[in-house]
């Protein structure tokens, strides 16, 4: 009985010829998509672009800036270091602007060119193709993979499966360590991880993301795109008749059917589609693009390269499956500018302007003053009125800075404590000071005063208003 189940599951991956007017959305966990290799301009571009993005992802944590890790999202200490800028919790509006700009940029590109993010830039797609490449090296191309899965277990099958999964785990581990390196010291992580000398949360994070990468790219693959990714569900709200997507031209391809290469298919009443199902076999999500636009399509263009290769062999013109628009397929002319696209672009530019303004007006110094509430005031031996304050001086720059502390609001004052303080880049200094005021200047119960903190070169000044009490 078990053998029959395996045979049935393997048969599901053979070339199927479903009813083109009926779409089956049922998913069986025993169904596996075996993706056929494809060559072409789009596949070549995706590989080059994918390796470029992979290189950027792997290189960023290792970059140095002023002797420190250039990009470090230090959640434990509540500060994000991004090249020459340190972001603190009070600077999260900058991260919010960045997220908003990225979202509207995605909406804008989707309106014009469909799910090109999914097909060419999404990490899920990039890592899935890497894992598929590894799978091919161990198990061979599509037909050999099908045959290998249908075979009973023997030594050859065991070592191929074991080698594949070991390579997957290695890639997943390196990916996870690189990703965690964005949040902790990457050199220390790669050096001490193997001895488990990097702390519990670092080890837990590496193992957790290793499991996620291995599961997503190795096992789940298209399920992430079709069942779990929210972008696949709401993308249609940004599509219109002028959105460029991977499309099949039914006017040219129908009626489809096999034929001899030497025969005149026009005389046989056939279209250019030879019904070879190559477009289905190369699709990473296992759909038939000839059934029309489907949310599972990630616009990777694999079916375009496969169909163009078939058209070349049949001496037919290319472009039966191509990047085009619904309006163009109907004989119309694609409109490049339209209200939806212009609206997304305008909002994206506006949000970018707000982001630039927020960054440009951001001061590299922040001061917070807390008055000692345990004692309202005290009288010194000279008879002066004293209040005690604690200053928290935050140096947001990446370089050490020396600051001087002064006070304004009274004519005769004495400020005791550390009034000159040197603070490392991206650090906070806690400075307790005592402010004494001549009693003749204290004319009311509460006075408004200002603490003024100035850098040694005088370029940066920050003021903080507070109160002086005499009750």
Interatomic CA distance for residues 59 and 45, integer angstroms:
21
Positive or negative CA dihedral for 236, 242, 247, 251? positive
Q: What is the pLDDT of residue 295?
A: 85
Lay out the sheet containing 79-82: strands in order across. 71-74, 79-82, 85-87
User: Bridge-partner residues for 415, per DSSP?
Assistant: 435
Interatomic CA distance for residues 428 and 367, integer angstroms:
10
200 Cβ contact list (under 8 Å, min separation 6): none
Residue closest to 438 by CA, chosen among 418, 405, 410, 468: 410
Q: What is the pLDDT of residue 398?
A: 77
How much of the chain, in percent, has pLDDT values that exceed 90?
58
Q: What is the pLDDT of residue 179?
A: 96
pLDDT tens-digit readout, 1-50: 333 333 333 333 333 444 444 444 444 444 688 999 999 999 999 999 98
Number of neighbouring beta carbons within 10 Å of residue 224:
18
Mean pLDDT for the stretch of residues 48-67: 92
**Per mean pLDDT, which range of 214-228, 294-308, 312-326, 454-468 is the poorest?**
454-468
Using CA atoms, how far residue 409 sits from 240, 379, 455, 468, in Å, is 63, 19, 20, 9
Mean pLDDT for the stretch of residues 254-279: 90
Q: What is the pLDDT of residue 28?
A: 47
Interatomic CA distance for residues 127 and 174, integer angstroms:
12
**DSSP states of 345-379 as a string?**
HHHHHHHHHHHHHHHHT--SEEEEEEE-SS-S-EE
Residue closest to 35 by CA, chosen among 131, 164, 172: 131
Number of neighbouring beta carbons within 10 Å of residue 395:
25
Q: What is the pLDDT of residue 140?
A: 93
Number of neighbouring beta carbons within 10 Å of residue 266:
9
Mean pLDDT for the stretch of residues 295-317: 93
Interatomic CA distance for residues 369 and 388, integer angstroms:
10
- Asked if residue 209 lies in contact with residue 180, where contact means CB atoms within 8 angstroms, the answer is yes
Number of neighbouring beta carbons within 10 Å of residue 63:
11
Report H helices in 181-301: 186-192, 200-213, 222-223, 231-234, 250-253, 278-281
Number of neighbouring beta carbons within 10 Å of residue 235:
22
Q: What is the pLDDT of residue 92?
A: 82
Three-class DSSP category at 294 = coil
Using CA atoms, how far residue 362 sits from 46, 308, 358, in Å, is 39, 53, 6
How much of the chain, in percent, has pLDDT values that exceed 70?
93
Residue 121: exposed, middle, or buried by beta-carbon count in 10 A (0-12, 13-18, 19+)? middle
Interatomic CA distance for residues 281 and 64, integer angstroms:
45
Interatomic CA distance for residues 409 and 469, integer angstroms:
13
pLDDT tens-digit readout, 132-188: 999 999 999 999 999 999 999 999 999 999 999 999 999 999 999 999 999 999 999
């Amino acid at each position: 009985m078990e053998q029959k189940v395996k045979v049935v599951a393997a048969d599901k991956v053979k070339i199927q010829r479903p009813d083109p007017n009926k779409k089956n959305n049922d998913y069986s966990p025993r169904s596996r998509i075996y993706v056929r290799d494809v060559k072409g301009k789009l596949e070549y571009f995706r590989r080059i672009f994918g390796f470029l993005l992979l290189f950027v992802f792997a290189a960023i944590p290792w970059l140095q800036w002023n002797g420190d890790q250039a990009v470090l999202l230090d959640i434990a200490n509540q500060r994000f270091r991004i090249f020459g800028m340190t972001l603190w919790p009070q600077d999260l509006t900058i991260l919010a602007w960045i997220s908003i700009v990225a979202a509207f940029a995605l909406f804008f590109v989707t309106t014009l060119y469909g799910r090109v993010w999914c097909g060419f830039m999404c990490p899920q797609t990039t890592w899935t193709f890497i894992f598929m490449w590894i799978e091919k090296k161990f198990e061979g191309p599509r037909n050999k993979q099908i045959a290998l899965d249908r075979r009973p277990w023997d030594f050859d099958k065991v070592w191929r499966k074991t080698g594949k999964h070991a390579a997957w785990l290695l890639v997943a581990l390196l990916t996870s360590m690189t990703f965690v390196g964005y949040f902790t010291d990457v050199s220390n992580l790669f050096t001490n991880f193997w001895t488990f000398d990097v702390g519990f949360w670092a080890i837990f994070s590496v193992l957790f993301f290793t499991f996620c990468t291995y599961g997503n790219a190795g096992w789940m693959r298209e399920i992430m795109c079709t069942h779990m990714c929210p972008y696949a569900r709401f993308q249609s709200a940004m599509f219109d008749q002028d959105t460029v997507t991977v499309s099949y031209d039914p006017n040219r391809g129908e009626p489809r059917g096999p034929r001899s290469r030497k025969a005149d298919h026009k005389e046989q009443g056939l279209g250019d589609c030879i019904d070879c199902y190559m477009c289905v076999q190369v699709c990473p999500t296992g759909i038939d693009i000839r059934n029309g636009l489907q949310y599972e399509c990630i616009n990777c263009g694999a079916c375009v390269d496969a169909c163009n290769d078939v058209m070349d062999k049949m001496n037919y013109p290319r472009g039966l499956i191509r990047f085009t628009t619904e309006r163009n397929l109907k004989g119309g002319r694609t409109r490049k500018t339209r209200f939806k696209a212009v609206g997304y672009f305008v909002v994206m530019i506006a949000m970018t302007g707000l982001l630039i303004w927020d960054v440009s007006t951001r001061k590299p110094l922040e001061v917070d003053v807390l008055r000692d509430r345990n004692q309202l005031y005290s009288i010194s031996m000279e008879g002066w009125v004293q209040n005690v304050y604690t200053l928290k001086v935050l140096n947001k720059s990446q370089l050490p800075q020396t600051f001087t502390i002064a006070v304004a609001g009274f004519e005769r004052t004495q400020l005791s404590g550390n009034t000159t303080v040197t603070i490392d880049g991206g650090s906070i200094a806690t400075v307790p000071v005592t402010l004494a005021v001549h009693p003749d200047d204290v004319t009311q119960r509460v006075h408004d005063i200002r603490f003024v903190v100035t850098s040694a070169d005088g370029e940066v000044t920050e003021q903080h208003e507070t109160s002086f009490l005499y009750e």
